Amino acid sequence: MPLLAIAYFSISGTTEQLAHAVARGAAGMTEIALCRIAGDDIAAGRFQNEVLLQTIDRADAVAFGSPTYMGGPAAQFKAFADASSDRWSQQRWANKIAGGFTTGACASGDQLHTLSYLSILAAQHGMLWCGLDIPGGEDPAGRNRLGSQLGLASHQADGALPQSDLSTAEYLGQRLAKMAARNG
């Protein structure tokens, strides 16, 4: 069974809710490793969790997740991405399936920039990007309500994630699991 690693940073719990929804969507189709980037993983500005990186080395697919802060991924996620450069030079993540998710405080909130960053990170590693194939605003279940084809963009409504965004995250998990099975 393929392995889906979900590498994410969450400070308020919102991105973690999306990570768990991605895992629910992939359940039964892949093994799942929730790889939460924690503040303790960063010392002197450098990410230092070799076990997490080795989990991604073994994965067939990876979902990258970060909240959008000031128009891009959180610094903690960026520290993780910077630490992956040793793997980049060896192309250890090449040909793995990758996808991404983010959340922000506003409906626009520049989440697309974070998703672009995540997809470029994957491209640098030689990964194969898997976006959403749900037309924004046209899904009967209300998924992909913000209309991002690159990945899941979300934002809180009345202090909570809308169910439609959690359903979109589950769908992204299913899609990554199916692609990982094809790729393996």
Query: CATH code at 166?
Result: 3.40.50.360
Residue 111 banded pLDDT, cuts 50, 70, 90: confident
- Total tally of structural domains belonging to the chain: 1
Structure tokens at 46: 């450098």
Mean pLDDT in the chain?
Answer: 92
Residue 36 contacts residue 16 (beta carbons within 8 Å)? yes
Structure tokens at 115: 């998703």
Opening angle at CA 154, ends 167 and 77, nearest 5: 110
Q: What are phi and psi of 173, to 5 degrees?
A: -60, -45
Quote the pLDDT of residue 184: 62
Cβ neighbours of residue 88 closer than 8 Å, sequence gap 6 or more:
124, 125
Q: For 75-97, how does the pLDDT look when each residue is reduced to its tens digit (9 = 90+)? A: 999 999 999 998 988 999 999 99
Quote the pLDDT of residue 141: 87
SS3 (DSSP) at 10: coil
Length reported for the chain: 184
Quote the pLDDT of residue 156: 83
What is the pairing mode between strands 128-129 and 97-104? Answer: parallel
- What range defines the domain where residue 171 resides? 3-183
Token pair 């990876």 in the structure block, residue:
62
Quote the pLDDT of residue 158: 76
Q: For 49-80, how does the pLDDT look when each residue is reduced to its tens digit (9 = 90+)? A: 999 999 999 999 999 999 998 888 999 999 99
SS3 (DSSP) at 63: strand
